[in-house]
């Protein structure tokens, strides 16, 4: 299926590494021009270089999305460079701690919520006026199944992502009349750098044999008996931000191997 993304302008937050970087590269491979956002300027430069190396076109936007003024400036510069933003993917997130809620640092909790929830809201606020004026736009927000079914040791992260889901549904109802689609992709466990880092720390703590046994138990929780890969998420994002999905809005698509079958 030709998703007809050639010539579209896509802005991806948190694209300096991991899933966000993979999504940005996916858009470029599909023919879109990409604005690469991340607070990590070095990571942004690496993603831009990778896109240009494969013949694509990209612009760097090393901005802290928890700062609304900085986000508004980023969108203005993207419009100067490419004329508009057709697609926004709100992917930026951080998981500061992987511990029980009462053991978490309140400051870390606030930072997670500011980046994940407020960052999504800021970017959406900044791109919507242009999308409404043009009568066209696609916004795709990355959530997590932890926000849908709960996950111990990730209460702050889950709460912020749960807010993203509710926000997405509400805004989809507000702007659908302007031909703007807003959807959510909700990954389960995915072999991203974030998960790999957590698993490496766990392996060091448990020892390789015990860690392998634990990993097999985790896989048995998934009907497809495998952990997701970043390309699984990217494929879903590209589809939902294409006109092939023009009749889909306000929906949450779990890309989770069947781990949580949420109605």
User: For the domain bounded by 9-190+228-255, which CATH number is listed?
Assistant: 3.40.50.720
37-46, 104-113, 231-240: lowest mean pLDDT where? Answer: 104-113
The reported pLDDT for the residue numbered 100 is 86
Mean pLDDT over 199-224 rounds to 88
The reported pLDDT for the residue numbered 186 is 96
- Residue 33: pLDDT above 90? yes
Exposure pattern of 231-252 as b/e (b: 16+ CB <10 Å)? ebbbbbbbbbbbeebeeebeeb
The model's pTM: 0.93
Interval 219-256: pLDDT, tens:
998 899 999 999 999 999 999 999 999 999 999 999 99
The reported pLDDT for the residue numbered 260 is 84
Backbone angles phi, psi at 252, to 5 degrees: -115, 115
DSSP, collapsed to helix, strand or coil, labels residue 141 as: strand
Is pLDDT larger for residue 9 or for residue 109? 9
The reported pLDDT for the residue numbered 263 is 66
Helix segments in 65-154, DSSP class H: 68-82, 106-113, 119-134, 146-149
- What is the rounded CA–CA span in Å between residue 190 and residue 231? 10
Active site residue 157: yes
Name the active-site residue from 101, 136, 157, 222.
157
The reported pLDDT for the residue numbered 36 is 98
- What is the rounded CA–CA span in Å between residue 197 and residue 201? 6
- Residue 99: pLDDT above 90? no
Q: Give the pair of three-digit tokens for residue 74.
A: 């980023």
- What is the rounded CA–CA span in Å between residue 121 and residue 123? 6
Interval 147-184: pLDDT, tens:
888 777 778 999 999 999 999 999 999 999 999 999 99
CB of 162 closer than 8 Å to CB of 147: yes
Mean pLDDT over 18-41 rounds to 98
- Residue 111: pLDDT above 70? yes
- Residue 95: pLDDT above 80? no
Q: What Rg, from alpha-carbon coordinates, does the chain have?
A: 18
CB of 138 closer than 8 Å to CB of 87: yes
137-146, 199-208, 237-246: lowest mean pLDDT where? Answer: 199-208
CA distances from 62 to 37, 43, 92 (A): 5, 9, 12
Laid out side by side, the sheet with 180-187 consists of 58-61, 33-37, 9-12, 87-90, 137-142, 180-187, 252-255
């Amino acid at each position: 299926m030709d998703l007809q993304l050639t010539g579209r302008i896509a802005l991806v937050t948190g694209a300096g590494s991991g899933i966000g970087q993979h999504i940005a590269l996916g858009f470029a491979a599909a023919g879109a021009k990409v604005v690469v956002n991340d607070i990590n300027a070095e990571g942004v430069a690496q993603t831009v270089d990778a896109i240009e190396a494969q013949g694509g076109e990209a612009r760097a936007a090393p901005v802290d999305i928890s700062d609304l003024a900085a986000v508004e400036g980023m969108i203005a510069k993207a419009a100067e460079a490419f004329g508009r933003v057709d697609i926004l993917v709100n992917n930026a997130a951080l998981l500061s701690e992987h511990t029980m809620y009462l053991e978490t640092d309140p400051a870390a909790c606030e930072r997670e919520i500011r980046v994940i929830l407020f960052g999504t809201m800021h970017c959406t606020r900044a791109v919507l006026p242009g999308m409404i004026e043009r009568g066209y736009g696609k916004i795709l927000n990355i959530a997590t199944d932890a926000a849908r079914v709960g996950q111990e040791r990730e209460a702050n992260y889950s709460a912020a992502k749960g807010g993203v889901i509710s926000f997405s549904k509400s805004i989809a109802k507000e702007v659908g009349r302007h031909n703007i689609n807003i959807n959510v992709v909700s990954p389960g466990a995915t072999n991203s750098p974030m998960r790999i880092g957590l698993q490496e720390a766990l392996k060091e703590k448990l020892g390789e044999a015990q860690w392998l046994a634990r990993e097999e138990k985790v896989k048995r929780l998934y009907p497809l008996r495998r952990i997701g890969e970043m390309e699984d998420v990217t494929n879903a994002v590209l589809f939902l931000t294409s006109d092939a999905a023009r009749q889909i809005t306000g929906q949450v698509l779990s890309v989770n191997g069947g781990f949580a079958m949420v109605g």
